[in-house]
């Protein structure tokens, strides 16, 4: 009852504040269009927030910016690439914040994805960057390749596993992350990951999870008042697992080239310092566990969705599928059924297919940034107050015919060596852009390409029509986990 009353009076307060302060807020600042109730419509609707923003984006083709509100917080849906570049890169110090409210007690949310304090974020990101250097990616690829091979074998041996293809992709991406980035010993089968259940539940877009993000975005004072945590139910399990991994690795002298090695190097070096900001931080087990958690919530779900949508589109386009099979078979025949890091470079057409899948179904459908100091958007000369939210509607941009002719058509040739250089900057952002671009972008592509290559070596896809009406109601992602396709074993399984 106490919570209900607070929410009720909070809603009344927000409504009063909107009618007194926020009516015509954006029009007074030179933004012609102001839309109301977007976030609430998402909360009670049946599609993703990215789709709601795309609808607004499409309905106002002549506007550079569209004003909305997240609760009582003013927000802008950006429609101009120059303004997007300004927010994500040009004026980064005024827009480094994602605007996601967390509580100090929320240990797992204290990672580079959610960190709001700039000096703290900058220091931790700098220290994590070596996880995905070219050398480390090459050295961990044999584990990724083994995971991909085990993934194909699991699909071959377990027909029921093929009935839920998204779950299968999720099993692979979670296991590949656990084995390669964290060095989890999976001697018997790499598909047996202790993180699978946790990774699945942490990002499943339930009403409860969406409501927490709704409060965080629209009523941050209530989120803090009730000391809500985004990932409370996974805290003990994940921190204990990482703590045990660190303890075991301290007595293991072998070099693993993974995240746990980086963690030990940081702890052995003592206090982390950034001489440019003067900020310092102790690399405790809890701090490092939070960064480990970041890799799972940023990598497992997005990579699984990318694989899933790629396969759905290949089942929808038999000519493209045939061309992919020809390339994959050529590479596998030449490498003797064991992919190397260099072999991935020879899968150029598969790379184009993957890029087009992420164009049509971006792993993250939107980004947002909170303004930390008053500033002005260059296009439209729009004054932006501190704490206003800037929204980059990635899904809408990726389907904008101004940048992508016939955007509903799946056409990998958009990313051919001849056409890729013509793509306008900031019209394609599957991994974000600017100062907070995805840290693991190269690992993600490596993992997904290896998994798709092994799967398409062993299986083909029955032809079907895939035309989704909407996606799962998620705050940030595009998901369609119940969409299916039939995997048909190929002769290579018997041949090898």
pLDDT at 253: 77
Tokens of 219: 């009523």
> Is the pLDDT confidence value at 50 over 80?
yes
Residue 244's pLDDT is 87
Q: CA nearest 410: which of 451, 482, 352, 471? A: 352
Q: Which pLDDT tens digit goes with each residue over 279-288?
A: 999 999 988 8
Work out the average pLDDT over 318-333: 97
In sequence order, the β-bridge partners of residue 65 are 78
Strand 279-281, strand 382-384: pairing: unpaired
Residues tagged in the binding site annotation? 438
Dihedral through CA 100, CA 105, CA 106, CA 109, nearest 10?
60
Residues near 138 by beta carbon (within 8 Å), at least 6 away in sequence: 341
Other C-beta atoms closer than 10 Å to the C-beta of 343 total: 18
CB 129 within 8 A of CB 250: no
Residue 496 confidence (pLDDT) above 50? no
pTM of the model: 0.90
- Contact (Cβ atoms closer than 8 angstroms) between residue 339 and residue 455: no
pLDDT in tens, 366-387: 999 999 999 999 999 999 999 9
Indicate if the pLDDT at residue 329 is higher than 60.
yes
Question: Is the per-residue pLDDT at 45 higher than 60?
Answer: yes
Higher pLDDT, 494 or 458: 458
Q: What is the pLDDT of residues 111-167, one digit of tens each?
A: 878 888 899 999 999 998 888 889 889 988 988 999 999 999 999 988 888 999 998
What residues are paired with 329 via a beta bridge?
none
Give dist(CA 355, CA 423) in Å, integer. 12
Q: List pLDDT tens digits, range 53-96.
A: 999 999 999 999 999 998 778 999 999 999 999 999 999 999 99
Say how many residues make up the chain.
Answer: 496
Annotated binding site for heme: 438
- Report residue 99 as tokens: 């605007």
Region 462-490 average pLDDT: 94
Q: Which of 362, 490, 377, 430 is nearest to 82 (CA)?
A: 377
Please give the structure tokens belonging to residue 411: 């056409």
Residue 333 has pLDDT above 80, yes or no: yes
Q: What is the pLDDT of residue 464?
A: 97
Fold entry, domain 26-94+365-429: 3.30.43
């Amino acid at each position: 009852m106490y919570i209900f009353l607070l929410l009720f009076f909070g809603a009344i307060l927000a409504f009063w504040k909107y009618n007194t302060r926020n009516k015509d807020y954006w029009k007074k600042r030179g933004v012609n269009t102001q839309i109301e109730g977007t976030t609430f419509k998402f909360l009670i609707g049946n599609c993703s927030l990215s789709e709601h923003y795309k609808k607004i984006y499409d309905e106002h083709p002549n506007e550079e910016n569209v004003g909305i509100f997240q609760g009582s917080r003013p927000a802008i849906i950006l429609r101009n690439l120059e303004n997007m570049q300004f927010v994500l890169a040009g004026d980064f110090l005024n827009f480094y914040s994602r605007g996601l409210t967390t509580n100090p007690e929320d240990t797992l949310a204290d990672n580079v994805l959610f960190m709001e304090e700039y000096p703290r974020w900058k220091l931790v990101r700098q220290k994590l960057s070596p996880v995905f250097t070219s050398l480390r990616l090459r050295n961990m690829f044999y584990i990724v390749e083994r995971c991909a091979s085990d993934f194909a074998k699991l699909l071959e041996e377990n027909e029921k596993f093929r009935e839920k293809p998204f779950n299968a992709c999720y099993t692979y991406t979670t296991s590949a992350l656990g084995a390669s980035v964290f060095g989890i010993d999976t001697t018997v089968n790499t598909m047996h990951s202790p993180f699978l259940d946790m990774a699945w539940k942490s990002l499943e877009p339930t009403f409860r999870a969406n409501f927490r993000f709704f409060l965080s975005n629209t009523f941050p004072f209530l989120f803090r008042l009730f000391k809500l945590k985004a990932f409370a139910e996974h805290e003990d399990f994940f921190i204990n697992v990482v703590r045990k991994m660190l303890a075991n690795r301290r007595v293991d002298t072998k070099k693993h080239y993974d995240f746990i090695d980086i963690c030990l190097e940081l702890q052995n070096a003592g206090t982390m310092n950034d001489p440019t900001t003067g900020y310092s931080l102790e690399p405790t087990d809890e701090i490092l566990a939070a960064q480990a958690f970041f890799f799972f919530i940023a990598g497992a779900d997005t990579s699984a969705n990318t694989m899933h949508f790629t396969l759905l589109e290949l089942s929808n386009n038999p000519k493209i599928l045939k061309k992919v099979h020809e390339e994959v078979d050529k590479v596998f025949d030449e490498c003797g059924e064991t992919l190397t890091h260099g072999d991935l470079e020879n899968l150029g057409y598969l790379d184009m297919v993957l890029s087009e899948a992420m164009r049509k179904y971006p792993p993250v459908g939107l980004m947002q940034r909170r303004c930390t100091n008053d500033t002005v958007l260059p296009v439209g000369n729009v004054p932006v107050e501190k704490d206003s939210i800037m929204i980059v509607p990635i899904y809408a941009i990726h389907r904008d015919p101004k940048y992508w002719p016939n955007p509903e058509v799946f056409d990998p040739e958009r990313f051919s060596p001849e056409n890729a250089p013509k793509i306008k900057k900031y019209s394609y952002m599957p991994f974000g852009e600017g100062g907070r671009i995805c840290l693991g972008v190269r690992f993600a592509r490596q993992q997904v390409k290896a998994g798709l290559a092994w799967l398409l070596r062993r299986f083909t896809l029955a032809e079907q029509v895939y035309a989704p009406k909407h996606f799962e109601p998620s705050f940030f992602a595009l998901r369609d986990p119940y969409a299916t396709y039939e995997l048909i074993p190929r002769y290579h399984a018997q041949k090898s």
